[in-house]
């Protein structure tokens, strides 16, 4: 059966329930797209075990025939970022230097939650080495290209690059990612899909290779807000009824400070069009000022908290095997060595202050809005020079990182027209507001449609 390229989880679940498609057929279709030499599967995926995939798909078909499907999603394929433990597989986190490590003994909590619901793991997706970049380049495994402008070879966004491209190219309808500074939302914006960053404590990080424990979070990349909400519910154990769009008019706060500086013409045009669509749908759109976030460049000197925590994790590995790292990744990790204990204490204190300030600023709004990324995906060759790499990487991370620093939950959803360069609209709420953010994002998605 030939399926629509970008079906949602709800649509696929309905077809499975009605017997219009089987888990085996879904797996075969996904594997064929991954193997297509004309596509990006060879770069989007680092590892695929075909026999294992088909065994798991057949097992879910057998459970469904017996009336024992563990969830409506049983049999749907999903992809797993290379930073997640999968029992029997090495967790290399996009690097070559961990390839010889022992395989994981158990699944990470996130992968286990997906499997309990009957999702079928397709394989491990490519990523920026150790998740430390917003552009998505990987010199060890190759770089999957953005769905936009393939002949121009544009970056996929990072660090969850392979997960985003796998969903955008319909190799699977959903993939797991991590988000420390924007790693779900940036590649989602650059590939025209939805990416979610939950409140950091919402989803267990056990069994996931860390970058910065204070900032790391785990979220899905998928084809719709509802898809992300459904997967987030599984990952977090949130047993609420299915989230629906918030009824009545929303009140959306448009953040004016910092995040609107230097937008390229495509992003600026799409953002204004998105706000106009929201007003036309009857929602209230109001300006919000939060001047404190203009401090972000100063708070990121030498990589800030993230670099300091990354250095703590990597210092012993760097001491032994620095030459085996991506040079651009290890050079950024090394900045963390320059962050003193006193500096780190001051940064954490200021972060706590800004988290509290954001909760006050966001009060009364259903969501705070801004573009997810200020630019459309640049060409890979634009990052050849080191200075350009650092500038573009910083620009890609600029807006999304704000909400990691503020310990918020945030989502990026497409705001571009068909055939246009991909751009993302980001919506955010203070920590713990995940369910309310999904309800608002569903309403926004309907207005933009």
Q: Is the pLDDT of residue 239 over 80?
A: no
Average pLDDT on 17-27 reads: 98
Burial of 276 (0-12, 13-18, 19+ CB in 10 A): exposed
Q: What angle do CA 29, 79, 194 make, to 5 degrees?
A: 100
Banded model confidence at residue 3, pLDDT cuts 50, 70, 90: very low
Burial of 5 (0-12, 13-18, 19+ CB in 10 A): exposed
9-236 and 251-302+337-448, same CATH topology: yes
DSSP state of 324: G
Banded model confidence at residue 176, pLDDT cuts 50, 70, 90: very high
CATH architecture of 251-302+337-448: Alpha-Beta Complex (3.90)
3-state helix, strand, coil in the chain (%, to 5): 45, 15, 40
Q: Is the pLDDT of residue 241 over 80?
A: no
CA distance 255 to 87: 43
Q: Is the pLDDT of residue 1 over 60?
A: no
Written as six digits, the tokens of 241 are: 């009824």
Q: Is the pLDDT of residue 243 over 90?
A: no
Mean pLDDT over each residue of the chain, to the nearest integer:
97
Catalytic residues, which ones?
81, 159, 183
Average pLDDT on 165-175 reads: 98
Are 195 and 185 a contacting pair, CB within 8 Å? Answer: yes
> How do strand 120-125 and strand 45-47 relate by DSSP bridges?
antiparallel
CA distance 197 to 177: 9
Written as six digits, the tokens of 19 are: 């017997």
Q: Is the pLDDT of residue 4 over 50?
A: no
Is residue 94 left, alpha or beta, with left meaning phi > 0 and alpha meaning psi from -120 to 50?
left
What are the structural domain ranges in the chain?
9-236, 251-302+337-448
Instruction: Write out pLDDT tens, residues 341-395.
Output: 999 999 999 999 999 999 999 999 999 999 999 999 999 999 999 999 999 999 9
Are 156 and 177 a contacting pair, CB within 8 Å? Answer: no
Instruction: Write out pLDDT tens, residues 199-238.
Output: 999 999 999 999 999 999 999 999 999 999 999 999 999 9
Written as six digits, the tokens of 111 are: 């992968």
What is 9-236's CATH number, 3.10.330.20, 3.90.1300.10, 1.10.3720.10, 2.60.40.1180? 3.90.1300.10
């Amino acid at each position: 059966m030939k399926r629509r390229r970008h079906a949602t989880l709800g649509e696929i679940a309905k077809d499975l329930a009605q017997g219009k498609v089987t888990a085996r057929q879904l797996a075969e279709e996904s594997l064929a797209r991954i193997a297509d030499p004309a596509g990006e599967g060879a770069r989007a995926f680092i590892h695929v075990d075909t026999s294992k995939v088909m065994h798991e798909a057949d097992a879910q078909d057998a459970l469904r025939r017996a009336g024992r499907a563990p969830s409506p999603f049983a049999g749907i394929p999903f992809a797993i970022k290379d930073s997640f433990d999968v029992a029997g597989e090495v967790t290399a986190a996009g690097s070559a230097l961990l390839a010889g490590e022992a395989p994981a003994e158990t699944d990470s909590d996130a992968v286990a939650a997906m499997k309990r619901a009957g999702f079928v793991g397709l394989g491990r997706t490519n990523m920026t080495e150790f998740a430390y970049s917003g552009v998505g380049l990987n010199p060890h495994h190759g770089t999957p290209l953005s769905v936009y402008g393939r002949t121009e070879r544009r970056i996929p966004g990072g660090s969850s690059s392979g997960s985003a491209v796998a969903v955008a190219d319909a190799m699977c309808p959903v993939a797991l990612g991590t988000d420390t500074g924007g790693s779900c939302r940036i590649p989602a914006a650059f590939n025209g899909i939805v990416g979610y960053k939950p409140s950091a404590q919402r989803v267990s990080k056990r069994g996931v290779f860390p970058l910065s424990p204070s900032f790391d979070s785990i979220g899905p990349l998928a084809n719709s807000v509802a898809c992300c909400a459904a997967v987030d519910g599984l990952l977090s154990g949130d047993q609420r009824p299915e989230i629906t769009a918030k009824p009545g008019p929303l009140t959306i706060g448009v953040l004016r400070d910092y995040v609107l500086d230097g937008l390229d013409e495509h992003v600026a045009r799409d953002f204004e069009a998105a706000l106009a669509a929201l007003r036309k749908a009857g929602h209230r759109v109001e300006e919000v000022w939060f001047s404190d976030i203009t401090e972000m460049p100063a708070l990121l000197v030498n990589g800030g908290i993230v670099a300091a925590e990354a250095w703590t994790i990597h210092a012993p590995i760097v001491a032994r095997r620095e030459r085996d790292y991506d040079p651009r990744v290890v050079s950024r990790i090394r900045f963390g060595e320059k962050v003193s204990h006193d500096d780190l204490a001051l940064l954490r204190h200021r972060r706590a202050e800004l988290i509290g300030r954001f909760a006050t600023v966001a009060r009364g709004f259903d969501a705070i809005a801004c573009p997810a990324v200020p630019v459309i995906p640049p060409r890979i060759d634009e990052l050849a020079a080191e200075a350009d790499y650092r500038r573009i990487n910083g620009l890609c991370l600029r807006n999304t990182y704000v909400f990691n620093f503020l310990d918020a939950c945030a989502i990026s959803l497409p705001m571009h027209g068909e055939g246009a360069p991909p751009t993302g609209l980001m919506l955010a709420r203070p920590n713990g507001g995940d369910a309310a953010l999904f309800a608002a994002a569903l309403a926004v998605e309907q207005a933009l449609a």
